[in-house]
Amino acid sequence: MSAPRLYVSADMEGTAAIASWTQVEPSNATEYPYYRRLMSLEVRAAIDGAREAGVGDVLVNDSHYHMRNVLWDELPADVRMIYGNRKPFSMAQGIDGAFDAAFFTGYHAAIGTRDGVLDHTYTDETLYAVRVNGKPCSEAMLNAGVLGVAGVPVVLITGDRATIEQTQREMPWITGVVVKESIGRFAVNSLSPEAARLAIRAGAKRAIERLTEAKPYVFESPVSLELDFAHTHNADFAELIPGFERTGGRTVRFVHDDYLTVFRAFNAAFRLGAAANAPV
């Protein structure tokens, strides 16, 4: 068998020591430059662990905010990276059936999760809840569904305890690395960054060694997407998209047989919904 190919979707909020939006906000000139380095080093630790277990090609998809966070110098020279925003598949851009496994690093809990630091689902200002086939979904679940269409299982997730437990309830085969315990939304009891990197490296190695236990995460067709927006004006805009049905004051629904179409529609709807937040 040739060396497994690895896809890494790298978010930031679930990095050890991060507890505040200021640490993950690129316009913050004091805190962000330090914490983007910690994020980058956690991605590096995951790659190093995977390679100890025999992984070959690695593609990193920078998946936080404007999606230009990971410092290239902190990655091995042969790793490719998708960099920048306005990607139709967003945090799952670039996946295809040629990959054997995926990692989600620095991930965070779904919006509305208690003791999940910086809990949100793609946007914390616009979306109140996301459900697929009636099930409340986190970013990890939504993105895993895209990978699932390509037949690629998620085998590692790193972040706070709430994120790991929420994801493992859906995908029990995932190796989870808990780098911090959240105390409400804006405080953590964290491993040191160095200890977190050691744990991630070991977890990544174990995750690849357990690859045969893993399954693609698949939503059954027809796929029903429901978005509860924060405000009625967000839903006013989202329901303009052909195929979207207004099912409540703040809620829209979209149904399609193909989850990739549903995921693209999700991307369109929450962005359009967010556009309604502009001052009138």
Q: Which residues are catalytic?
A: 120
Is residue 205 close enough to count as binding Zn ion by CB under 5 A?
no
Residue whose CB is less far from Zn ion, 38 or 214 = 38
Stretch that binds Zn ion, among 4-12, 74-82, 93-101, 241-249 (CB under 5 A): 4-12
Residue 12 Cβ vs Zn ion, minimum distance, rounded to whole Å: 5
What CA–CA distance (Å, rounded) separates 91 from 84? 11
Residue 251 Cβ vs Zn ion, minimum distance, rounded to whole Å: 24
Residue 139 Cβ vs Zn ion, minimum distance, rounded to whole Å: 8
Among 6, 8, 10, 11, binds Zn ion (CB under 5 A): 11
Strands ordered across the beta sheet of 135-136: 135-136, 127-132, 223-229, 251-256, 245-246
Q: Burial code of 108-144, b = ≥16 C-beta within 10 A, e = fewer?
A: bbbbbbebbbbbbbbbeebbbbbebeeebbbbbbbbb
Residue of 255, 280, 258 lying closest to 269 (CA atoms): 255
Is residue 180 close enough to count as binding Zn ion by CB under 5 A?
no
Other beta carbons within 10 Å of 4: 18
What CA–CA distance (Å, rounded) separates 67 from 69? 6
Stretch that binds Zn ion, among 25-33, 58-66, 155-163, 243-251 (CB under 5 A): 58-66
Is residue 64 close enough to count as binding Zn ion by CB under 5 A?
yes
Question: Cis omega before residue 222 (within 30°)?
Answer: yes
Residue 106 Cβ vs Zn ion, minimum distance, rounded to whole Å: 7
Residue whose CB is less far from Zn ion, 11 or 62 = 11
Q: Which tokens hold the place of 103?
A: 């990692």
Stretch that binds Zn ion, among 6-14, 77-85, 191-199, 267-275 (CB under 5 A): 6-14
Residue of 76, 94, 101 lying closest to 175 (CA atoms): 101
Residue whose CB is less far from Zn ion, 53 or 117 = 117
Residue 32 Cβ vs Zn ion, minimum distance, rounded to whole Å: 12
Stretch that binds Zn ion, among 13-21, 48-56, 177-185, 197-205 (CB under 5 A): 13-21
Residues forming the site for Zn ion (CB under 5 A): 11-13, 64
